[in-house]
Amino acid sequence: AAAEPNLSYQELKDLKKANVLHIDVRERWEIDRFGKIPESINIPLGELMEALQMDPTEFKEQYNQKMPSKSDPVVFSCLAGTRSKQALGFATSLGFS
């Protein structure tokens, strides 16, 4: 696994063109207040561990997105970077690369 890379906005935009799954781990009220990042899916940090262990069909039903495989490229974001680093740790602990 890569060592906690930080991405600029432009790098994220470029990655999203390459079919990277972007998971925003902010709380739903933050999305409502500050806005949704285009083409991201919102899975609040408190739900992430459970979400990444769901049955793929259940994941698709809940988040309207194909569940990532353990080798798919995934980017996590939040407001300041603390929760996205935690999200990366959770995903890595579950075997995501």
Annotated catalytic residues are 78
How crowded is the C-beta side of 29, counted as CA atoms within 13 Å? Answer: 0
Beta-carbon neighbour count of residue 52 at 10 Å?
Answer: 21
Residue 20 near residue 68 (C-beta atoms within 8 A): no
